[in-house]
Chains A and B, each alone.
Chain A
């Protein structure tokens, strides 16, 4: 995750003419964080019964559950800030939005690869979330600060879990080393997007509500770099392309299938409860 190039939009900032109002930007910022957590929770849930050992079924399921909990609080807050008529609650936001309304990064929507690749993805994502929530402890949005207080402990545990596995696999057999290295190469084009600023984050940072993703990149890189070194793995070269657009609702083909699975019960049986 390296700092993005200076772009014209970065200079224009939140006072750019035609930019949405504060309520919309605040909502979008919360949705970005909540959607990252929700979509990665869904991907992690896919590992249940597919992990290399039953303890890992439990672990990936539990990490997903923590993320789902974070998503619930963040989406609930997004619905409050948005204040639509009628108001959208966590279920409406998770289950009834269309693909273009989701603001998660591409990293979390990628189909799962092998276990080595999942640990590579989790190492990057949990390291990013750890820096993010640490920075949000002092958010001017009291709900966001409260979510961060709880979540920072959870993601520290996720980051540690991924760290232990990357160390073990990287410094393990030639096969495990090769596969986790291949996993790192596979996710690398998706990492930079985590550290890219977007309009809602610029607004949130100016208001003390949120934090610029670019300000987290150096710490995230340093942590992952240290783990890779300890694991005898190589940081992949700068990729020739990288994913972009997730924060504006532009997603990959994988996203539609993911949402179909996530949403189909809620859409097939509107208002159903148990």
Chain B
């Protein structure tokens, strides 16, 4: 779901600030912008300033607060009033991550989400067997990888290892 910028010329001050807002890096995975991550829903003109609507990734993700602060900081530095509004519905999904974002993750050594949601919003089946899901190694490209831990260094990642090149790597969980 691409985000929208309404009523702002691309080259005027607000347009440049809106661009800078979109380019704010994810505080925990700085190779991806919050636009590519898919958390920005809308950037709108409100009077002389901007209203930025974001949808959080995980309920408890500590990076959300840092993203909000970074967006507000862009406004402060440009002298433009910026407010950040949180929209919960529809819920964020990794389907909203851009192709460019996925490619940046891969180059950084994080396997991007696979595109099929692990659990459709409701009633998604949860298997009673140990899962065997194919994730490609972002380092050597081998599909021969295994899960080490279902919870990784941040809420959005799991830990895997490649059986071909033997390197461990993070996987961005598909939700």
Instruction: Give the interface of A toward B (CB within 8 A).
Output: 41, 55, 58-59, 61-70, 72-73, 134, 137, 142-143, 145-147, 149-154, 156-157, 159-161, 163-164, 167, 226-227, 230
Contact = CB atoms under 8 A, between A and B. Distances in A.
Interface string B113-134: 0000011011110111010000
Nearest to B91: A149
Given A66-B59, A68-B60, A149 B88 contact: yes
Interface residues of B, number: 32
8 contacts: A58-B152, A64-B60, A69-B59, A72-B60, A150-B92, A152-B121, A157-B150, A161-B151
Given A55-B148, A163-B126, A153 B60 contact: no
A156 B124 CA distance: 8
A167 B124 contact: no
Interface in B68-120: 87-92, 118-119
B175 A153 contact: yes
A69 B58 contact: yes
Given A58-B153, A73-B88, A150-B91, 8 more contacts: A58-B151, A70-B59, A142-B89, A143-B88, A153-B175, A156-B118, A159-B126, A230-B128
Interface of B: 56, 58-62, 87-92, 118-119, 121-124, 126-128, 130, 148-153, 155, 159, 173, 175
Contact of A66 (B58, B127, B149): B58
Contact of B119 (A143, A156, A161): A156
Which of A137, A151, A157 is packed against the most chain B CB atoms within 10 Å? Answer: A157
B121 A153 contact: yes
The A interface is mostly helix, strand or loop, or mixed, namely helix
Contacts of B130: 164, 167
Contacts of A145: 89
Contact of A62 (B87, B121, B122, B151): B151
A55 B159 CA distance: 9
B128 A150 contact: no
A60 B52 CA distance: 33
B132 to A, nearest CB: 13
B126 A156 contact: yes
B123 A153 contact: no
B122 A152 contact: yes
A59 B149 contact: yes
A153 B91 contact: yes
Contact of A161 (B59, B123, B150, B155): B150
Given A66-B58, A69-B59, A159-B126, A149 B152 contact: no
A61 B150 CA distance: 12
B116 to A, nearest CB: 14
A73 B87 CA distance: 11
A58 B149 contact: yes
B128 A163 contact: yes
Contacts of A153: 91, 118-119, 121, 175
Contacts of A73: 59, 88
Given A149-B88, A150-B92, A226-B128, A66 B60 contact: yes
